[in-house]
Structure 1
Amino acid sequence: MSQPGWTPEESSDRKADPARLSLLGHDLRAAVSDVLGGIRLIEQDGLDPATRLQLERVRAAGEVLARLLEESLAEMLGEEPGDAPVSNVQLSRFLYDIEMRWSGRAREKGLAFTVSVGAGVPAVLALDRMALERVLANILSNAIKYTDSGHVRMDVTLTEDHALQMAVSDEGPGFSGAALQRLFQYAGRPDDADKPGHGLGLHISHDMAGRLGGHVSVRNLPGLGAEVALTLPASVWELALPDTPTELPDLSHVKVLVAEDNASNQMILSHMLTAMGAEVELAEDGVEALHRLDCEEYDIALVDIEMPRLSGIEVIRALRGSGGPKARMPVLAVTAYVLRANRDAIFAAGADGILAKPLPGIETFGQAVAAAVARAETPGTQPQPAREETVELNVARFDHLMEIAGPDGAVELLDRLQIDLRRTERGLVAALADFDRPAIRAETHVLIALAGAVGAERLQAMAESVNAAAHRRDDTGMRGTGAEMCRQLDRLIHFVQTEFNRRGGAA
């Protein structure tokens, strides 16, 4: 029905209005971003294991929802390019989210659910994450739906021809002859099936597998149950590593401790350091890092700030307070969260520098490590403090905005602007670290509007550039412009906070 007072033609026009769809999309993206942000900020230490598990389940499902929403909105608004959005997927994190999401669903039916990973499976995949999630979600949903007791499992392995296979097996009744004849058809579910549904799951899985460049196979297992497997040839997921530069710093005399809990980042850091000749040892958390620092001699430590048991900041503080020569050992902090407050805390703890995630190219990375070691080997040499820079702003536009708001309204506006800018900054830093293109597009969409409103024209142009790079799947463009965009955003936040305090907001 049409709304009271509207003709059917007017209702149709409103539904098709691109501007109205764009505004609705903006609000939907903002709402989902707030929901996910709220979930991530919940302190889990005081929660019981069952509640923590459910919270992780909601978070994992919510992030899938956000990516589905972004893809749907982009298609509705004509934003989606034709090519598949290939990104680097950290497999361990991806499988953790799969397990968190589907173990809860299985437990509700009294089923066991496990994920196993075979030898040689790659740590990072280069493919369309959303398509991969949709394939597995439909396969797992069917397996759990049709299994009334027993076990559902997902095995991730490499085949003899180096294809990646994700096989979901269950202990249900298996596929009937009629179902096998209509596999992958749209609404191909047999009429006499004893479970509700339309048979769309395998159709979607088949379609998405084709989008990935792979295929889905189905077979009944001997005795009881079925197996549905996604197979992806190596050519569609192998990570294309950049060529190693010919001129790199010589780190053959350097022994490095890498304190990092993420297996993929361990691999990347170790690969780059050993390519330059360094000797590398790994610590998987802050406690192990301090133990190694106590027992062995190193020339430099690379310390992840977000580690379990003991944070990187706590490790750096403990090292600097230990006394003796080790207290002066160079330390580079590795973190995705290079916001102003984080930087201040990291340098206050005693770090010599910060390496921002995503990590720079091997040449830039090597120069940073070599420079830190060289400073330590040259007594009296200290790194130069970074020069405080201000945001590039159209002051006339900003002043006009404050004039329109009035004295009291300006303070309230600046307060709200601080909140929105900080939330956007957190979202962008996390999205850029993970190369999460849908999140990058959503966050830069918000930033374009915020920066434009206050006259931060260069920041607005950068946000537009990163947004366009995300649409083009241009990781190099996102990485390069994204880092400077975050620096400009940080300066804008500092400027807004200063203005808020100057106008009496601090009181």
Structure 2
Amino acid sequence: MKLASFSLIGVFLIYKSVMLALDSSHLMRQEIFFLGVPILTMVLLGSFTGWVMTAVVSALLVGLSVALASFPFGAAVAVSMSSCTLMAGVTLFYREVLRKERRLIELRNEAQRATKEKSEFLAKMSHEIRTPLNGISGILQLLDETDLTKDQKYLVETGRASGRSLMRLINDVLDYSKIAANGVTLERISTNCQQILETLKQSQEAAAHAKGLALKTELDPALPKQICADPTRINQILTNFVGNAIKFSSRGEIICRMERDGDNLKISVRDKGIGMTQEAQKRVFKKFEQASSSTNRHFGGTGLGLAISKELVELMEGDIGVESRPLLGSTFWFTIPLVEGAPVNATAPVEATSQGHMDFGGMRALVVEDNRTNQMIIQRFLQSMNVTFDVVEDGLPALLLCAREAYDIVLMDIQLPEMDGVTATEILRAQPGPNRHVPIVALTANIQPEQTNSYLKAGMNACLGKPFRKDELIKIMSALQGNKKASKPAA
């Protein structure tokens, strides 16, 4: 680049010198072109080289005025001075541009650091809030299983509902912060379309029935059985859509449909709720926005859910929208590119026999948890399932106990005082012993997808986020025990 620039400038100077010598009738027209050479040099090669070229041009002009009688010395000096003046002005402008560019880069870096620090702060606060919230949620679950009066049960359920609302708020704020900081990464794995709908229905059907609503799912037979997508993020968007449909509906049914739309997968949620005006539809996907101030007063919420959904859909290179009419309901939809996935052979999980109750008689568990409140809650849950257990408070005691005792499952906290749960799992998987292949469940408040993936890569089998319900623990334990029996390693 530099050699080419020097060659171009040299050829230009030689050409203009020859033209100045041959065409003495148009000196002014020939001289003026010498002014552009230093400027061009500075643009291509920098300020210092530009000033060097200014000196070269000035010396060349003076030399030509001495060699050529037709080229006055005064004209050479005038052009040289003009070139120096022009270079001085351009240099000042160039330095100011560079100064502002450096300042903009500094401001950008400061903003990126601030965003990263904010995300880290929110992640830490999320963990610190989830831990006591797990205690509150667990205590309320245990109270709900005792002999309570009708009024006491109502109070307990109200407390649990408030805890769930707080949990949704924490998740929304953390998710939006990560998206704003470009901290969200998408998975591309083979996913069963029917399983996505079934997972959604299992998680939202109870809330729909509590309001007298029917939750239905529809699957387009033209869709492939497996698609390549991020099932966690799709479920997050759908949970938001269905949650809003339940919140804003008091009659009828809610239908979630997956269908082929050309080369795209289209997923929609239709309800018969309060609906929205055209003006409200323009605002609903903006952060901290709701259809109206009265909507916020009557139904609550932060207005972050749909904004997060919009960001996630755009990350997946899709589109999102809503069709609605006041008092006639709404249809929220999004599309993403449809990519067929490879078939996956999955072992069917063993489900709990009844919601919140199951007898695991003869099963032995190791609980690795340093928080006393969480210890008590997990112990009560396991006692009600007829599971015997040992409790330790750190990773190293857990490894020492696993070296001499055999367990059917390990419930492992991640953040521990000395040796964290991930390190303990990696050591347990690497060393021979009675628990090398034991199912391990991460019990943690750090449940972002990239964090969950790190637990699975370390050798854990599943992750249960705090706060968790007893029926969620039952479901995971049942599935892992079923898989263990189906694929027990050879001795």
Larger Rg: 2
TM-score where L is the length of structure 1: 0.39
Normalised TM-score (structure 2):
0.40
